[in-house]
Homo-oligomer: A and B are copies of this chain.
């Protein structure tokens, strides 16, 4: 028999330069059945960013309407722009057994953790993973490798990264990205392990 289970809501945090986006993209390429939760933002699209793929780009009015409707799992204002995760990106999917990856910063993840205390579905589905670079020196090397950033931007990113990394203990799993292929294997293992977690299984085995 096919056993019904809830999907995994995999909350993924990690500083800029941790490689979490490349890792999760590669794991999703291997598992096309896994969905990615697209965030909303009021900031303007950059470069090749597309609405409904990279973000849902909303006006400030539209975003505030969604706040009023309690449509967000978590949202925050950062440097004058709103960012948020819609319930509609996650709730129906995990209820139907579809796994969803949520790329959320440490503040947003803390809000989801709070939500888990009062919401049985989130408590059952959420798993918290932090991706860290192997060292601060390596993080600095990676951030400086993006030749386009000014020294000021690099220093600010490094400062923020250290703050984020200091909160890794809030997460259940820590993935140290020392090499890309290994990190992809580790992330893949986490996904497979979460799928085996009995707290998410609804039916009797061999019943």
Contact of A175 among B173, B190, B196, B199 (CB under 8 A): B196
Contact of A132 among B172, B173, B206 (CB under 8 A): B206
Give the copy number. Answer: 2
Stretch from A39-47, A115-123, A141-149, A163-171 at the B interface: A163-171
Which residues of chain A in 116-174 are interfacial with respect to chain B, using CB atoms and an 8 Å cutoff?
A: 129-130, 132-136, 139, 162, 165, 168-169, 171-174
What is the distance, in angstroms, from A114's C-beta to the closest C-beta of chain B?
18
What is the distance, in angstroms, from A149's C-beta to the closest C-beta of chain B?
21
What 0/1 readout, one digit per residue, does chain A (191-204) give for beta carbons within 8 Å of chain B? 01110111101000
Could you tell me the distance between the alpha carbons of A1 and B196 in the complex, rounded to whole angstroms?
Answer: 32
Chain A residues in contact with chain B, CB under 8 A?
1, 3, 129-130, 132-136, 139, 162, 165, 168-169, 171-176, 185-186, 188-190, 192-194, 196-199, 201, 205-206
Extra contacts, 19 of them, besides A134-B206, A188-B189 (Cβ < 8 A), are A1-B135, A129-B196, A139-B206, A162-B206, A165-B206, A168-B205, A172-B197, A172-B199, A173-B193, A173-B196, A173-B197, A174-B198, A174-B201, A186-B196, A189-B190, A189-B192, A189-B196, A190-B193, A192-B193
